[in-house]
A and B are shown apart, each in its own frame.
Chain A
């Protein structure tokens, strides 16, 4: 069964500083990997996704993530954080279900606080 670990529950960075959120996954086949962001009281918005090909993927809002198969990691990065980036971030791995459905297994999330 697949699993996702986000080792950092909370992270605080200063506005303008760089950011890296860690994500490690466990999956027996080629993973489909995602990063979602959730602002307070809101649903989840897809930041970026990896299916195959280039291991560095670009997403919305200036985020990028790098897939490293050897480390089973898919860390999210942003070179300069904005105050509006304060939110909770979820890493997820996708898997096909018997019967044709699909399931996203989520990590427990990293809460990002941005200091002005």
Chain B
């Protein structure tokens, strides 16, 4: 299987533009989440989902929307991009059941630049 896939790999936006970062997984994982990675700050949780139709905010949700209509897909939407959203975005997923507590699988990332 392909694991966690993200598209696009790179994107440049102008301030105020909108776009959707795609994330898909083929491991039938219930949990999916989005992180952003900024220099010197590690990874920070933006939004997460515990299953289809259920989403919640992480620690840095402002400026981002998510939805989870299927188990496989978890898109991240930027409605009006700002330079502060320049970052590398990672999608992650994991099983709900115990035995692999919190072991998350990460996608390859999307590098976003907002000018």
Contact = CB atoms under 8 A, between A and B. Distances in A.
Contacts of A101: 31, 33, 48-50, 56
Contacts of A53: none
A34 B100 CA distance: 12
Contacts of A4: 42
Looking at chain A's contact residues, is the secondary structure mostly helix, strand, loop, or mixed? Answer: strand
Contacts, number: 64
Contacts of B58: 103
Nearest to A42: B108
B25 to A, nearest CB: 12
A34 to B, nearest CB: 7
A67 B107 CA distance: 28
28 contacts: A32-B102, A34-B103, A36-B106, A43-B106, A44-B43, A44-B90, A45-B106, A49-B101, A49-B102, A49-B103, A90-B43, A94-B101, A94-B102, A97-B56, A99-B50, A99-B54, A99-B56, A100-B50, A101-B31, A101-B33, A102-B94, A102-B102, A103-B58, A103-B59, A104-B104, A108-B41, A108-B42, A109-B42
